[in-house]
């Protein structure tokens, strides 16, 4: 049996907090009850925390403005976003100066250019395809042009690196409504490539949660007993448990059944306003 915990008990038990954004603090239409109060109490108690998000469509400054509009006050230095992982990815693969098509809004392109990539227009020859998000560009036109160009290059014997900082397939919009996320766009693109080249394997490199780099980035900044608070078993909770961290599944987001996966959270929590 997985025990339930509440916000008061979390504050008493842990020194440092990793907190997911969508499905935990905010949804598309607003914030969850008690979210801003919990952040305020963390700051008042001197607890360290980072918002660890798979969002690669917004820079930290844009993210905090978005959260503020939903009633949650967080400073930009508290945000660790998966778009920030593009820089070490580019460095590790020695792709500095490589051309890149970025499927995403302007902030996604900024992440790419800050990482050392040269952003080019949809349909142009490229060394890299970055899926930054599922919005912020003419989706089908951009996807069609990018897929066609990548297929031409592969057919001519040229490699193209594929990367998606946000591996999430879905995210909570509000209430029981869900939306597709960047990971689903990557699956769509991979399916198109496999249909064109059935004897080859194509796979985007996935950078964010549940993979360890984003957690490790946060862990280097904080000390003490640490806990991850998330709403998705397959990303937030799986990644934390793999690194030996305690993990709390908030059950008002994507994963509402704590037993729906082979990974088990340390606790469940109905929300920041739950008292028992």
Q: How buried is 135 (Cβ within 10 angstroms: 0-12 exposed, 13-18 middle, 19+ buried)? A: middle
pLDDT of residue 46: 94
Q: At 225, is the pLDDT very low, low, confident or very high (cuts 50, 70, 90)?
A: very high
Q: Do residues 181 and 236 share a domain?
A: no
Residue after which a domain boundary falls, among 189, 206, 223: 206
Q: Report, as an integer, the average pLDDT of 144-159.
A: 96
Residue after which a domain boundary falls, among 186, 206, 226: 206
- Which is nearest to 44 in space by CA: 83, 19, 73, 77? 73
Q: Do residues 252 and 195 share a domain?
A: no
Model pTM greater than 0.85? yes
Q: Do residues 232 and 121 share a domain?
A: no
How far apart, in whole angstroms, are the C-alpha atoms of residue 246 and residue 10?
11
Q: Do residues 144 and 43 share a domain?
A: no
Prior bond of 210 cis (ω within 30°): yes
Q: Is residue 146 part of a domain?
A: yes
Q: Is residue 276 part of a domain?
A: no
- pLDDT higher than 70, residue 241: yes
Residue after which a domain boundary falls, among 206, 229, 252: 206
Q: Is residue 102 part of a domain?
A: yes
Q: Is residue 74 part of a domain?
A: no
Q: Do residues 221 and 259 share a domain?
A: yes
Q: What is the dihedral of CA 20, 25, 26, 27, to 10 degrees?
A: 70
Q: Do residues 231 and 121 share a domain?
A: no
Phi, psi dihedrals of residue 122, rounded to the nearest 5°? -55, 140
Q: Do residues 147 and 248 share a domain?
A: no
pLDDT of residue 248: 97
Q: At 252, is the pLDDT very low, low, confident or very high (cuts 50, 70, 90)?
A: confident
Q: Is residue 110 part of a domain?
A: yes
How far apart, in whole angstroms, are the C-alpha atoms of residue 10 and residue 178?
28
- pLDDT higher than 80, residue 174: no
- pLDDT higher than 80, residue 176: no
Q: Do residues 183 and 99 share a domain?
A: yes
How far apart, in whole angstroms, are the C-alpha atoms of residue 19 and residue 172?
15
Q: Do residues 108 and 172 share a domain?
A: yes
**Helix or strand or coil: residue 191?**
helix
pLDDT of residue 27: 85
How far apart, in whole angstroms, are the C-alpha atoms of residue 270 and residue 256?
9
Q: Do residues 127 and 38 share a domain?
A: no
Phi, psi dihedrals of residue 72, rounded to the nearest 5°? -120, 120
CATH number at residue 141: 3.40.50.1000
- pLDDT higher than 70, residue 275: no
Q: Is residue 247 part of a domain?
A: yes
Q: At 276, is the pLDDT very low, low, confident or very high (cuts 50, 70, 90)?
A: low
Q: Is residue 50 part of a domain?
A: yes
Q: Do residues 217 and 180 share a domain?
A: no
Question: Which structural domain range is residue 170 located in?
Answer: 87-206
User: What is the residue-averaged pLDDT of the chain?
Assistant: 94
Structural domains in the chain (count)? 2
Phi, psi dihedrals of residue 77, rounded to the nearest 5°? -70, -10
Q: Do residues 126 and 198 share a domain?
A: yes
Q: Is residue 76 part of a domain?
A: no
Q: Report, as an integer, the average pLDDT of 168-181.
A: 83
């Amino acid at each position: 049996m997985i025990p339930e915990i509440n916000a008061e008990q979390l504050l008493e038990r842990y020194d440092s907090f990793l907190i997911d954004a969508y499905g935990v603090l905010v949804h598309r239409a607003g914030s969850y009850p008690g979210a801003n109060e919990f952040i305020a109490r963390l700051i008042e108690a001197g607890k360290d925390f980072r918002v660890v998000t798979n969002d690669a469509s917004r820079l930290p400054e844009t993210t905090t403005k978005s959260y503020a509009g939903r009633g949650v006050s967080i400073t930009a230095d508290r945000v660790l976003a998966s778009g920030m992982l593009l820089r070490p990815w580019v460095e590790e693969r020695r792709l500095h100066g490589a051309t890149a098509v970025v499927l995403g809004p302007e902030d996604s392109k900024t992440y790419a250019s800050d990482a050392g990539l040269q952003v080019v227009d949809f349909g142009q020859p490229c060394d890299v395809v970055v899926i930054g998000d599922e919005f912020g560009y003419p989706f089908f036109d951009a996807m069609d042009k990018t897929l066609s160009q990548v297929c031409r290059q592969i057919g001519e014997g040229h490699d193209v690196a594929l990367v998606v900082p946000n591996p999430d397939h879905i995210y909570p919009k509000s209430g029981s409504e869900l939306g597709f996320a960047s990971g689903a766009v990557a699956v769509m693109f991979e399916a198109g490539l496999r249909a064109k080249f059935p004897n080859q394997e194509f796979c985007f490199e996935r950078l964010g949660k549940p993979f360890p780099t984003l957690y490790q980035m946060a862990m280097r900044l904080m000390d003490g007993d640490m806990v991850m608070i998330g709403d998705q078993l397959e990303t937030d909770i799986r990644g934390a448990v793999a690194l030996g961290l305690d993990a709390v599944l908030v059950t008002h987001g994507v994963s509402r059944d704590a037993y729906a996966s082979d990974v088990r959270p340390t606790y469940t929590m109905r929300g920041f306003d739950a008292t028992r």
